[in-house]
Structure 1
Amino acid sequence: MEEFVRSHAIAAASAVTFSTAFVYPLDTLKTLLQVGAGTGPKLDIRQVCGRLQSIAGLSGFYSGFGWTVLGRIPAIGTRFGLYELFTAFYKDGREDNHVYVSEALLAGLASGAVEAVISTPFDLFKLRMQVASACHSSSLKHHHADEIVKPIIAKLLPGYVPDKLAWVHNADLLSKLPNKHPNLIDALKGYPWLLTGSGRQPSAYDVKGPSQVVTLEGWSSIWRGLRPGLFRDSIFSGIFFSCWQAIHIALLEWKSLEMDHPQRFPEEISSISPIEASIAAGISGSIAAASSHSFDTAKSRSQCVVIPKYIAMERKLLKWKPPGTWFERLSGIHPADRQMLSRGIGLRMVRSGVACTALVGSYFLAVDYLL
């Protein structure tokens, strides 16, 4: 029994790694299209590929691959494991081993929600690495900035470029007070919270490592994008399993038409082949990706925003209310991103379809080889 479980675990991990590596360049391009969308002219795939190759080379297409694999192995294992657990309760007490499409949808929604909680931190670090691969290094600029600011600002705001005009403006406002400080500008440099809103906000490619994220943004920031992630993974998992089950039932019914005697239970019909199961999974993955893509874009864009701890504290003290409608606040969609939610949908559909096909096909091949 232990050997059986070990073999299936090795086969699943190998299938996840292979399928992820096979389509990872598409994921990188999709992410860069999402986070690079703005009010200016739209970037196309050719422009993104050219920029990525000129800055990071071919290795840039696989930036953050390690974080993706570390996150997808437990996340996909949780998705399929919980799905089998939930559907086992539906099938309990039935004569056949049949699962209805609606039951597969509900089980997929629940398993996808748990998957989102596990994968969100890994998605954050993966996205920051992907963005960094397409951006020029600013280490020299950071070194120059650290020389002219106080150490406390350099610690709280890595990548911060001082705005001398903002300091002069604040000094002019405070110089009208009765008790003047002999050097107001140098005094302001010791109080970074007085500089809120001035200077340049730290970029995502400057804060990409776990230690950098935790130091600047706090522990809670590693789950940034969880709300759109919950919607994305729940919808994706629910649509994926329900479509896969519907295609599976259709294939069994089509095979039953070729039999001489009608069968009472689906188990009495010969099971579908691994190739048919792989193709069915690929079609289901593409449909699920299209259904959940808006929340995938919202998650990518929210994780690309760096919010230092002191700004988050100010928002909490001031009881800052996020903009947008009630649904946008609930799902984590920023109202400024309404026109950008479909960016990269074609790439994600192709990536998910090919990845699901490769995942199921390589899993069957690995199981046959090991067992």
Structure 2
Amino acid sequence: MKELSQNQTIAVHGIAGAGSVALATAFTYPLDTMKVLIQVGSSPGKQLDAAQALTRVVFLSGNAVGRTFGLGARFGVYEILTAFYKDGREDNYLFGSEALLAGMASGAIESVISSPFELIKLRMQVTSASYVPSSNIALENGAHKPLIARLLNGCYPDKRSLDLYTGLISTLTTKNTNVSSALLEYPWTMTGSGKPPSVSSVRRPSDIVSLEGWRTLWRGLRSGIARDSVFGGIFFSTWQFLHQTMLDWKAAGMNPPPRLNEEVGPLSPFTVSLTAGFSASVAAAASHGFDTSRSRSQCNVVPKYISMERKILKWKRPGNKFERITGIHPLDRNVLFRGIGWRMARAGLASSMIVGSYLFVADQLTSSLT
């Protein structure tokens, strides 16, 4: 009977957690899309404002699966680590420094798990608001389609750009009389502009793996781990501090004074959800620079042959030591805090909804079972 009750409790908390995460993700997804577009659409000299980003949004895409896995890992690992800290303590008290360390560890694990889902989601968001010129017409040359499809899957050169290339070198002496065919043998000219394909051309998982390789699914992992570690540490430590402060405030009016936190009684779900939202907003502001760096790096399409060249040439990451460790590109220094308001709003609203809906659903399910 005891095992049945324990299994029911675990099931209740699992259902409540999954439902609250899915609800909060769906509700705050438009804010996340606006934040992403402002981050990747800005440059050091010009910022993409909210009105411009809104006009680019054609439809919102993505799913909550990766978000559910990531948040589940964050809260699950945090609860496991804090259980070791509180083991043997009579009042189950948790210090702020312990919450900070546990939050940083849980954030790092969350980043590794959610990275592939986040990359696909981000590219779908950018694609949904990207304008693809109609002039990018594929060459109807069956002899070269297999080569292009193998190196740049689904991408063909712009006919006008290729004609420009041909005109520029037509005056040079060459052993190959068919200059256009010779140009098609070079991957860096296959897109017609000398640049890799756009994000809108490489957004599906099959296209990403075919063109860029499996490791691309974890691109920007350095900045992702830095972002989620900072976010998790500040979020849980701030939330723990505010939660303990509210318990002490509630206990101040009790007579006799409670000896343990359990004797104070539960706090209001509304108050707890507000403190979670505030903590998440503070954590989002502190970690936003790493979030911008990761978003911009995930929007860069780097074909496998370029990655191979970098590896052979022992290419070193640009920037100072801190930027190399955290994955920040030097060119992004002036845009790291673009869209910070949107991310603070999304993180605060999502955390409030997750905690509030979780407490409400768990309370309703527990009441129905008893």
Distance across 1 between alignment mates of 2:309 and 2:228: 31
- Give the structure 2 partner of residue 127 of structure 1: 122
Task: Tell me the secondary structure at the aligned position of residue 155 of structure 2.
Answer: coil
Q: 1:223 to 1:125 in 2, by over 3 A?
A: same
Distance across 2 between alignment mates of 1:131 and 1:258: 53
Distance across 1 between alignment mates of 2:42 and 2:224: 19
Spell out the pairing of 1:131-280 with structure 2 (5 A cutoff). Answer: 131-137=126-132, 141-142=135-136, 144-148=137-141, 150-151=144-145, 152-157=147-152, 158-162=154-158, 163-164=161-162, 165-167=164-166, 175=174, 180-192=175-187, 199-280=194-275
Deviation at 1:126, TM superposition (A): 0.5
**2:32 corresponds to 1:37:** no
| Matched AA of 1:37 | S
Question: Percent of pairs identical after alignment?
Answer: 52
Mean Cα displacement is larger for which, 31-40 or 266-275?
Answer: 266-275
Higher helix share: 1
Deviation at 1:128, TM superposition (A): 0.6
- Gaps of at least 5 residues in structure 1 are none
**2:109 corresponds to 1:104:** no
Deviation at 1:2, TM superposition (A): 2.7
| Matched AA of 1:145 | A
Deviations 1:258-300 (A, max 9, x none): 0122333222222212111111101101001001000000010
Task: Tell me the secondary structure at the aligned position of residue 246 of structure 1.
Answer: helix
- Give the structure 1 partner of residue 24 of structure 2: 19
Match of 1:7 among 12, 25, 31: 12
Distance across 1 between alignment mates of 2:188 and 2:49: 39
Deviation at 1:188, TM superposition (A): 3.4
Match of 2:318 among 319, 323, 332: 323
TM (norm. structure 1) is 0.90
Deviation at 1:323, TM superposition (A): 1.1
Deviation at 1:219, TM superposition (A): 0.7
Deviation at 1:322, TM superposition (A): 1.8
Q: Is the 8 A contact 2:323 2:330 kept in 1?
A: yes
Q: Is the 8 A contact 1:193 1:310 kept in 2?
A: no
Deviation at 1:9, TM superposition (A): 1.3
Deviation at 1:43, TM superposition (A): 2.0
**2:337 corresponds to 1:337:** no
Spell out the pairing of 1:52-131 with structure 2 (5 A cutoff). Answer: 52=57, 56=58, 60=59, 62-64=60-62, 66=63, 69-131=64-126
Q: Is the 8 A contact 1:128 1:208 kept in 2?
A: yes
- Give the structure 2 partner of residue 364 of structure 1: 359
Between the two proteins, the alignment pairs up a number of residues equal to 355
Distance across 2 between alignment mates of 1:247 and 1:159: 53
Q: RMSD over aligned Cα, in angstroms?
A: 2.1
Q: 1:148 to 1:233 in 2, by over 3 A?
A: same
Distance across 1 between alignment mates of 2:15 and 2:260: 32
Distance across 2 between alignment mates of 1:173 and 1:6: 73
TM (norm. structure 2) is 0.90
Q: Is the 8 A contact 1:324 1:335 kept in 2?
A: yes
Deviations 1:58-103 (A, max 9, x none): xx2x322x1xx11111111111111111111111122220000000
| Matched AA of 1:147 | E
